[in-house]
Amino acid sequence: MTEHNFEQMRRAMVASQLRTTGVNDPAVIAAMSEVPRERFVPAERRAVAYADAAVPLGEGRVLNPPMVLGLLLTEARLVGSESALVIGAATGYSAAVLARLARKVVAVEEAPTLAAHARAALEGSGVELVEGPLTEGHAAGAPYDFVLIDGAVEQVPQAIIDQAEGGRIAFVLSDGGVTRLAVGRVAGGALGTTLFADAAAGSLPGFEKPRGFSF
């Protein structure tokens, strides 16, 4: 595959996967048109980097379909002055896109191999990559105007909610096997959430709800 091939695939992604699904923020379209998605997948999977499907990254994690990120960022309605946090950076793609839309981006990843890929792929992007537990966020950089949880979760931990007081959180809510895109605002230590679209996304580890006791 050549750079020209990837450019053609990127244009096709925008035309057939973003514009047709409600991704209509010009800034989001521009950012996803510019970031080379192929850099953020294993070398053997670059040919499918722009597929309308989850791309396996290893460590049980995936790069979610482009539509998922595009819709979450569109609904976030960013203005460019935000301090942002990415939870579940994986190989860094969502952080690279967000870096073109926000003033400052911190990205958290706990899997060492994924973090190593992200560190290399994000070089020069201005993103601060932090290795640590996803469920803890990065309190040292709080408060954040916007938090992107890049994957499906059953719940948003209070530790992350507290880091976004007065700001917004976008994520994929997993409920009974159904995943829906969600965006919410934090006020008084509570997250008010609106669900706005169904979409398939890979799960992030550690965000499961406690299971009730049963015999």
- Domain boundaries, given as residue ranges, for the chain: 3-198
The 10 Å Cβ neighbour count of residue 116 is: 14
Q: Are 182 and 199 in contact (CB under 8 A)?
A: no
For 119-133, write each residue's pLDDT tens digit.
999 999 999 999 999
Global pTM reads: 0.95
**Which CATH number applies to 3-198?**
3.40.50.150
Q: How far is CA 149 from CA 37, 45, 107, 134, 213, in A?
A: 18, 24, 10, 9, 28
| Spatial distance between the Cα atoms of 140 and 145, rounded to a whole number of angstroms | 14
SS3 173: strand
Distance of CA 165 to the CA centre of its chain: 19
What is the CB neighbour count within 10 angstroms for residue 52?
Answer: 12
Digitized pLDDT (tens) for each residue of the chain, 215 residues in all: 788 899 999 999 999 999 999 999 999 999 999 999 999 999 999 999 999 999 999 999 999 999 999 999 999 999 999 999 999 999 999 999 999 999 999 999 999 999 999 999 999 999 999 999 999 999 999 999 999 999 999 999 999 999 999 999 999 999 988 999 999 999 999 999 999 999 999 999 999 998 764 44
Nearest to 50 by CA among 39, 59, 61, 21: 39
Rounded CA separation 66/64 (Å)? 6
Q: Are the beta carbons of 146 and 166 closer than 8 angstroms?
A: no
